[in-house]
Chains A and B, each alone.
Chain A
Amino acid sequence: AQKVTQAQTEISVVEKEDVTLDCVYETRDTTYYLFWYKQPPSGELVFLIRRNSFDEQNEISGRYSWNFQKSTSSFNFTITASQVVDSAVYFCALSDSWGKLQFGAGTQVVVTP
């Protein structure tokens, strides 16, 4: 069975600080996909990033970066120079090759001016 753990329930930062969200996953599949989604107060889920199990290259996209470590089954996500608009719930999710998503419990990020 697949499992996603987001140990941080809530993170509060002041604007311009960096925020790192932790995600640990469990799966027996050799091919899988990892995602980060953002859910603002409006309730919609916004896709942020995707990583395939066979590609451990870490990247930066604008203010977002991620650290995928298969050895520790972690897929951490960092927002650099946070802004008030980054305030939302962030979900880490794990998918098998058929596309069934297993979500973590989410981390509430609060960015204050």
Chain B
Amino acid sequence: EADIYQTPRYLVIGTGKKITLECSQTMGHDKMYWYQQDPGMELHLIHYSYGVNSTEKGDLSSESTVSRIRTEHFPLTLESARPSHTSQYLCASSDYSPVGRLNEQFFGPGTRLTVL
């Protein structure tokens, strides 16, 4: 059973607000990821981290920022939310097997964000 948590699960806010989406995992994984998914559509990687103090932008441009101060924690922040940010945000983590093969990513339950 994967132990990766996201809060809040649902968030409705007004335009211009600053928000932080929380993501935590208890598996000790070095790699963590944020994906954005519109309803019924594919997932797009927006941020990833290979370890503490490591953050990179993903393939889909995003106005959000991330930080990785602790291995288990990978929060995503929007400084000024806009209606175009309305989407589902999914956090994931993964690691390598003892023989160096990439394991699957475990996903959190997601945060459904609505910006009015």
Contact = CB atoms under 8 A, between A and B. Distances in A.
A102 B105 CA distance: 12
- The interface size bin for chain A is 20 to 34
B90 A45 contact: yes
Contact of B104 (A42, A47, A91, A108): A47
Interface of chain B, main secondary structure? strand
A106 B40 CA distance: 8
Interface of chain A, main secondary structure? strand
A91 to B, nearest CB: 7
A101 B90 CA distance: 13
Q: Which 7 A-B pairs have the closest CB atoms?
A: A45-B107, A47-B104, A103-B43, A103-B42, A105-B42, A99-B31, A50-B104
Interface of A: 33, 35, 37, 42-47, 50, 52, 89, 91, 95, 97-106, 108
